[in-house]
Structures are given as structure tokens and as C-alpha cells.
């Protein structure tokens, strides 16, 4: 078992082109599309901060500079708000501003897959465990998904991935894990299979886009041959790492919205809007009317 070191850093791979949301993402990064009134990436960063993450590492690409600007002070806006005594707005922006020196940005110059994006963060992560959060996926639950993973990591050490259950007949669409002995709020992983053939999946637990990984993944990814889609696949690297290190699964029991897909993005907006006391009274009725009008 690897030494249990504190998980201080989180990697956010935000270099994707967002082609499923064209034409909007021709000019606006998909991570900056808003769910109610916050960009998708803000929900994911909030989840990381709740889990105790101290350093945010963004793996970006061309046309993603607006993400870096978002996590900085906008001088003209700040000055205007102060001149107009907009205290609530000033406090809101100050609350989401990371502390100085706690964000880093690096480029993934070519779209070579998630494994390659993670490898691009190697020098910023260094020789310590790190969290990896896919920025398309936003979670809603009593406890943040990554917070639960960090709690499990305190028991298990090694590597941790978050999983959820799907219908068994849908398992061929996902990365699936095999179920071993229980540990904390999860279980030991016996195997990992990316999109198994129908009827061959070891379980119906699929990986949902949250990881805690040891730094030994980096040299594996550096040597990793391209896999599906002619890309460097993270799952292939994790399978290799599992030959030497333990993997545990945290069973997340909340809701996950894939905001990289139109249906998930729309459902996320509805779900988070209905949680807001300032919005629900004005949208609940019209939503019910729209649903009743469906034929």
C-alpha cells in the first residue's frame, strides 16, 4: 500500500473543444456555460474546495483564456461595483476568487485524450497524490463527491475512483469496475474495464469522473500507447497502475449531471434552479405547465 499523503492539489482538464455544444462553444468554452447563474467549472471547483483542495491546476487549450480571466479580478467591473456601492455583488465575487498563488494553468497543445491532459499537469502536481475532476460532470448530494472520496482515501490510501450504479443493460457504455471487499464507504476494486462487451461487465458500477491518483500514474501515461479514438486513455493507465497499487471505489449516492451533453445540461439547470429559494417560486409553476402540455 502506498503512503497516505494529504491530497492538496486538483487537476481540471478543460482543453476540450465542446463540439457537442456548437455553435455556442465556438466563442465560449463549454466549461463557462452557465447552470442557473454560475459557470459549470465553478460548481466543480466548489466541490474541490469543499474537499480541502488547496491548489487548483487547469489544463487548458487555445481559446480557453477566459477561464483564467474568470478566476482573476476584473478591475473595471470591481471598480464600477464599488462606485455604485453594489455590496452584495462585490461579496459574491470575492467569495469565489481563489487566494493568490493557488491556481495554475498549463497547456495541452494537441487533443490527445484525457490521459495526455493529466500527464500535462505532471510538473505542477509533483510527487504527491492529486485529485482529478472532469469539468463536464457536476454533482448534487448531501456531501460533495470528492469530499467523500477524500474521507475514503484516509481509510484506504492508494488510489480512489468514484462510482455510481447504472442499469446492468447499460454497462457497456461506461468504464466499469469489479467489486471486492468493503472498505469505508466503498469497496476494493478488483478490475477495471472500459466499455465492456454486452453481458461481460464485472458489475454495474461505473466510473463517474472523479479520481484520486498517485503520482506514479505520470510515468505510465508518458509511455502509454494510444488506445480508443487514437488517444491516450486514462483508464488504460489506471489498469497498468493497478498492477502495483491498490484501487478503491467510493460509491457516490447523489445525482450526477453530464453538462457536456445537452440533456444533462438542461436537467442540471432545472435541478439547481428548483433548489434556489429565490428562483423556485417563479419557475416551478411554468415548468409544471410545460410538462402537462407534453403530448
Please report the DSSP string for 159-190 in residue order: EEEEEEE--GGGGGGSEEEEEEEEETTEEEEE
- pLDDT score for 104: 96
- pLDDT score for 153: 94
C-alpha cell at 147: 469530499
pLDDT tens digits along 56-74: 999 998 888 999 999 999 9
Q: Provide the percentage of residues in the chain whose pLDDT is more than 70.
A: 97
CA separation for the pair 249, 180 (Å, rounded): 9
CA separation for the pair 67, 261 (Å, rounded): 20
- pLDDT score for 227: 65
Task: Over range 122-127, report the average pLDDT.
Answer: 96
How does residue 273 score in pLDDT terms, banded at 50, 70 and 90? very high
Torsions phi, psi of 242, nearest 5?
-65, -15
How does residue 271 score in pLDDT terms, banded at 50, 70 and 90? very high
Whether residue 3 is predicted with pLDDT greater than 70 in this model: the reply is no
- State the DSSP string of 214-260: -TTHHHHHHHPPP-GGGS--HHHHHHHHTTTS-EEEEE--SEEEETT
243 vs 230, which has greater pLDDT?
243
- State the DSSP string of 25-39: GGTS-GGGSEETTEE
HEC secondary structure over 111-142? CCCHHHHHHHCHHHHCCCCEEEECCCEEEECC
Q: What is the DSSP letter of 22?
A: T
pLDDT tens digits along 173-227: 888 999 999 988 899 999 988 888 888 889 999 999 999 999 999 999 998 877 6
- pLDDT score for 27: 87
Q: Is the dihedral of CA 25, 29, 31, 35 positive or negative?
A: negative
CA dist 12 to 17, 28, 185, 193, Å?
Answer: 14, 17, 25, 23
Task: Over range 158-178, report the average pLDDT.
Answer: 91
Which one, of 147, 134, 214, 238, lies nearest residue 184 by Cα?
147
- pLDDT score for 226: 72
Q: What is the DSSP letter of 98?
A: P
CA dist 272 to 249, 253, 276, Å?
Answer: 27, 17, 7
Task: Over range 7-16, report the average pLDDT.
Answer: 94
For the whole model, what pTM was predicted? Answer: 0.92
Which one, of 82, 83, 93, lies nearest residue 37 by Cα?
93
Q: With contact defined as beta carbons under 8 Å apart, do 189 and 177 qualify?
A: yes
Whether residue 133 is predicted with pLDDT greater than 60 in this model: the reply is yes
C-alpha cell at 53: 483542495
C-alpha cell at 266: 438542461
Topology of the domain covering 9-277: Spore Coat Polysaccharide Biosynthesis Protein SpsA; Chain A (3.90.550)
- pLDDT score for 215: 96
How does residue 113 score in pLDDT terms, banded at 50, 70 and 90? confident
- pLDDT score for 228: 65
Q: How many CA atoms lie within 13 A of 3 on its CB side?
A: 6
Whether residue 259 is predicted with pLDDT greater than 50 in this model: the reply is yes
CA end-to-end distance (rounded Å), the chain = 57
Task: Over range 152-177, report the average pLDDT.
Answer: 91
Q: Does a cis peptide bond (omega within 30 degrees of 0) precede residue 23?
A: yes
Helix, strand, coil percentages for the chain (3-state, nearest 5): 40, 25, 35
Task: Over range 106-130, report the average pLDDT.
Answer: 92
Amino acid at each position: 500500500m502506498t503512503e497516505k499523503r494529504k491530497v492538496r492539489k486538483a487537476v481540471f482538464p478543460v482543453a476540450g473543444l465542446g463540439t457537442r455544444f456548437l455553435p455556442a462553444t465556438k466563442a465560449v468554452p463549454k466549461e463557462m456555460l452557465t447552470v442557473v447563474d454560475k459557470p459549470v467549472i465553478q460548481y466543480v471547483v466548489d466541490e474541490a474546495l469543499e474537499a480541502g483542495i488547496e491548489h487548483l491546476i487547469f489544463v487548458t487549450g487555445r481559446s480557453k483564456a477566459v477561464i483564467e480571466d474568470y478566476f482573476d479580478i476584473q478591475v473595471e467591473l470591481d471598480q464600477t461595483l464599488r462606485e455604485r456601492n453594489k455590496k452584495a455583488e462585490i461579496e459574491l465575487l470575492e467569495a469565489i476568487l481563489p487566494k493568490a498563488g493557488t491556481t495554475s494553468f498549463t497547456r495541452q497543445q494537441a487533443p490527445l485524450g484525457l490521459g495526455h491532459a493529466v500527464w500535462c499537469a505532471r510538473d505542477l502536481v509533483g510527487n504527491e497524490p492529486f485529485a482529478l475532476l472532469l469539468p463536464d460532470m457536476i454533482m448534487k448530494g448531501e456531501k460533495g463527491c470528492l469530499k467523500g472520496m477524500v474521507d475514503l482515501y484516509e481509510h484506504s490510501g492508494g488510489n480512489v475512483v468514484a462510482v455510481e450504479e447504472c442499469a446492468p443493460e447499460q454497462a457497456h457504455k461506461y468504464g466499469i469496475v469489479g467489486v471486492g471487499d468493503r472498505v469505508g464507504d466503498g469497496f476494493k476494486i478488483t478490475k477495471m474495464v472500459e466499455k465492456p462487451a454486452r453481458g461481460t461487465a464485472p458489475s454495474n458500477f461505473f466510473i463517474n469522473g472523479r479520481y484520486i491518483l498517485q503520482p506514479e500514474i505520470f510515468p505510465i501515461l508518458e509511455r502509454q500507447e494510444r488506445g480508443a479514438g487514437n488517444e491516450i486513455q486514462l483508464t488504460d493507465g489506471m489498469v497498468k497502475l493497478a498492477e502495483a497499487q491498490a484501487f478503491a471505489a467510493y460509491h457516490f449516492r447523489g445525482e450526477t449531471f453530464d453538462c457536456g451533453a445537452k440533456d444533462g445540461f438542461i436537467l442540471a439547470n432545472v435541478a439547481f434552479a428548483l433548489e434556489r429559494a429565490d428562483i423556485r417560486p417563479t419557475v416551478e409553476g411554468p415548468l409544471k405547465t410545460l410538462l402537462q402540455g407534453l403530448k
